[in-house]
Chain A
Amino acid sequence: MQFDIGIWIAALLTLGIISFLYKDNVIYKVSEAIFVGVSAGFWFISLFWDNIYRKFWVGVFPDPTSGKEPQYILFGGVLLGVLMLSRLFGNKAGWISRWPLAFIVGATAGLKMITFLASNAVAQINATVGNFVAAVAAPTFAGLVTASTVTIGTFCGLVYFFFSKEHKGWFGGLAQVGTWVLMITFGASFGYTVMSRMSLLLGRIDFLLSDWLHLIK
């Protein structure tokens, strides 16, 4: 007889969640509640050790043998963090949580603005136009077809998202082509999403069949 308590618990919880496919039931609700509690606990303690302890505590009280200076400025981060918790006490005290929120939003906006502009806008436009110019300069049938598809498709897709002009006439025609390109994109994303979800399910089935039931090696 083989009995590994960890594998059995994992298997029973897996079956508990899967039981939802038949209908909503108590076993599923219990499994879901365990999931919610354990997830919250996992992130709570992980962030304590990884962010609060490793960043703040080790930074302010470094190992004497490491030769590092204490970074008292990290108290600023903890102060902002504590202010964030004021939201727990309702709207009267919660207004102070706007300060750490402002910091997070500002920092994210500052970083994302430049990286998105450089990598997701300029580099992409550069590639769209550059590849087309390169294909025209050294033309092959396949190269020209591909480069034209990319250039025209990208342009039409962008035209579709331009809502400051009505989509009528020639402009509407371009937007229509853009819609077709986007539909193909969403179809491809759908296909890959199905593949991904099936892969995740395969992982669980593999666990049940090999680790729990020992039906496959």
Chain B
Amino acid sequence: MKKIVPVIVLALLFAIALFNDSALELSPTWSWVVTILLGLAMVVVLILSMTGKMIERRIVFLFVGISLVLPFFMNFTMPLNVSPVVQTLYDALNKLPKGSKVLASFDYDPPSAPELQPMADAFVKWAFRNDIKVIIVGLWPQGPLQANLSVEAAMADPEIAAKNPKYGVDYVNLGFQTGNEFVIQGMGTSFRAKFPTDLYNTPYDSIPLMRGVENFSNIDFVMNLSSGYPGTVEWVQIAVDRFGVPVGAGNTAVQAPQVYPYVESGQLTGLLGGMSGAAEFEKATGEAGQANTFLLSQSFAHLVVVGFILIGNVALFIGQNRRRAPLV
């Protein structure tokens, strides 16, 4: 029996993958029913834990999986507030006059895309909509290619397509350069020395947007999207503290808490932290995107994790009280 169940589940999945053509969506009523059932299941876990029967870890895994999968089919919307650090970044970008040059450093790869790609998409769309020039670079090899995905997503917007942003004039992709923080250091002296050609091997001097751009002093703002090293910390240490260029950042949620001191000290002009930061930035810029869609699943998952933490602690306290209770 144990061996047959996975085989049946796999066969079902293969059949759906091969033959399914239609999306599945739960009505609001069914969405509530499913939510209540999930809540009741957590109550059952609470009762079992209170009686001393800790549930097996595979059941915990199942709860996490269900809490992430089901919201994809649900029809709930929740209000979202923009946090101060996100608002700071948005306000700084909004102050840039039309025609300003923003250096966008894409320092991440596809595994970090669920958190950072929505930020990138919202930023590029906002830039094109507001006539901000974007110079794309990458300290990670895949970064410039992720940037191209954001540009493609922006061009799919009819309003932006009507504006017809031109490559080389309104935006340019200088590609990836190896060297980590040494690249940032070198850019402080000369962009041309570090990026002699763009991603498509066009010489630096042949790119209209790069005429007159020698180093950071010709850049109005740096927008960094980072998931590790090299990333935001290096941009702050070198671009901000050595060359004085303002930098705003989007980070994965693992890295975000560690860069808050830079936000508090003013070295970093705003911060987008993880999926919620991406969703808040989408709201601030008015660019509907994937982060807001994912946030429902994120909410359910967080509730499940918090629920399990509280259940575990309730079980602990009840167990302690039982041991302390005098024998009658």
Do A and B interact with each other, yes or no? yes
CB of B276 closer than 8 Å to a CB of A? yes
Q: Is the CB of A214 within 8 A of B113?
A: no
Give the interface residue-count category, chain A. Answer: 35 or more
A46 and chain B: residue at smallest CB distance: B141
Bound complex: CA of A192 vs CA of B176, how far in Å? 29
Bound complex: CA of A2 vs CA of B276, how far in Å? 34
Q: Is the CB of B20 within 8 A of A213?
A: yes
Contacts of A15 in B (CB 8 A): 10, 13
CB of B155 closer than 8 Å to a CB of A? no
Given the interface pairs A11-B17, A215-B20, the reply to whether A192 lies near B61 with Cβ below 8 Å is no
Contacts of A140 in B (CB 8 A): none
Q: Is the CB of A200 within 8 A of B114?
A: yes
Q: Is the CB of A192 within 8 A of B256?
A: yes
Given the interface pairs A8-B17, A209-B72, the reply to whether A195 lies near B23 with Cβ below 8 Å is no
Contact of A206 among B256, B258, B274, B294 (CB under 8 A): B294
Cβ < 8 Å to B, chain A residues 62-115: 111, 115
CB of B273 closer than 8 Å to a CB of A? yes
Cβ of B10 to closest chain A Cβ, rounded Å: 8
CB of A217 closer than 8 Å to a CB of B? yes
Given the interface pairs A193-B253, A206-B72, the reply to whether A199 lies near B178 with Cβ below 8 Å is no
Cβ of A117 to closest chain B Cβ, rounded Å: 10
CB of B326 closer than 8 Å to a CB of A? no
Contact of B19 among A1, A21, A194, A199 (CB under 8 A): A1
Cβ < 8 Å to B, chain A residues 155-176: none
Interface size counted on chain B using CB atoms at 8 A: 57
Q: Is the CB of A123 within 8 A of B265?
A: yes
Chain B CB count within 10 A is highest, among A195, A205, A217, for A195
Bound complex: CA of A54 vs CA of B242, how far in Å? 27
Given the interface pairs A199-B114, A199-B294, the reply to whether A217 lies near B13 with Cβ below 8 Å is no
Cβ < 8 Å to B, chain A residues 1-60: 1-3, 8, 11, 15, 21-22, 46, 50-51, 54-55
Contacts of A209 in B (CB 8 A): 69, 72
Cβ of B282 to closest chain A Cβ, rounded Å: 14
Contacts of A11 in B (CB 8 A): 17
CB of A216 closer than 8 Å to a CB of B? yes
A1 and chain B: residue at smallest CB distance: B18
Contacts of A115 in B (CB 8 A): 181, 237-238, 241-242
Contact of B69 among A22, A185, A205, A217 (CB under 8 A): A205
Bound complex: CA of A107 vs CA of B130, how far in Å? 42
Bound complex: CA of A124 vs CA of B263, how far in Å? 11
Bound complex: CA of A54 vs CA of B177, how far in Å? 9
**Interface pick from B33-41, B144-152, B160-168, B297-305:** B297-305
Contacts of B266 in A (CB 8 A): 127
Q: Is the CB of A123 within 8 A of B267?
A: yes
CB of A138 closer than 8 Å to a CB of B? no
Given the interface pairs A206-B72, A206-B114, the reply to whether A195 lies near B302 with Cβ below 8 Å is yes
Cβ < 8 Å to B, chain A residues 113-133: 115-116, 118-120, 123-124, 126-128, 131
6 nearest CB pairs, A to B: A203-B114, A127-B265, A196-B253, A119-B237, A115-B237, A195-B253
Ordered by A's residue number, 25 sampled pairs between the chains whose C-beta atoms are within 8 Å are A1-B18, A2-B17, A2-B21, A11-B17, A15-B13, A55-B178, A115-B237, A115-B241, A118-B242, A120-B237, A123-B265, A127-B264, A127-B266, A192-B256, A192-B273, A195-B298, A196-B254, A198-B68, A199-B274, A199-B275, A199-B294, A200-B111, A202-B275, A203-B114, A205-B72
